[in-house]
Amino acid sequence: MSMEPPETKGCEPPNIYKCAYPAPYPEARVSGPNPKYAQLLLEDYAGMVSELTAVTQYTYHHFVLEETNKEVADLLSCTALVEMHHLEILAETIFMLGVDPRYRTIERNNTERYWEGTFVFYGTALCDRLTADVAGEWAAISNYRKHQRMIDDPYIKRTLERIILDELHHVGLFNQAIHKYCHPHLPKQDP
């Protein structure tokens, strides 16, 4: 019987750290139950622009780019792991606020809208996918900032601020990949 560890495929756990901003995450806490705050966080959790959409989109982009650009595919896989961590943090916070963290949003008239695969930008090429990924990060940051202003709970505000740091880090990582693979290399002109 062999004592060698089984072969693994994919992103090894330490790789997540290169895709997360290097700062600790605060403990998930809330001041008390608050369904209105949970309703706002459900948008970040499973709305059109959400952690669930990011996880799904980056995982898809990873799969379709793995054969043609392993470097970017690995970056997307690693980033998806960080987004999964955000998904878990938000689920725990929503639950503490007194709401079931199903993959849905709750509209103002209490209508539930469940997450759907049409929220994902599938794309057709490396550069349009990366550009969409950057746009998604900026949209998420904008939503988090808006929700920080609407939520009067210091624990949740701190959690959202930490998530924003990761999203800004992802913008930088994606922009590096765009610069490397998507900018045309123009010939140098003589002075």
What pLDDT band is residue 16 in, cutting at 50, 70 and 90? Answer: low
pLDDT for position 15: 53
Q: pLDDT tens, 84-128?
A: 999 999 999 999 999 999 999 999 889 999 999 999 999 999 999
- How many domains, the chain? 1
pLDDT for position 18: 84
Please, what is the end-to-end C-alpha distance for the chain in angstroms? 70
CA dihedral 50, 53, 54, 56 (to 10 degrees): 160
Could you tell me the CATH number of the domain that includes residue 41? 1.20.1260.10
Whether 7 is covered by a domain: the verdict is no
Whether 41 is covered by a domain: the verdict is yes
Domain of residue 154: give its range: 31-181
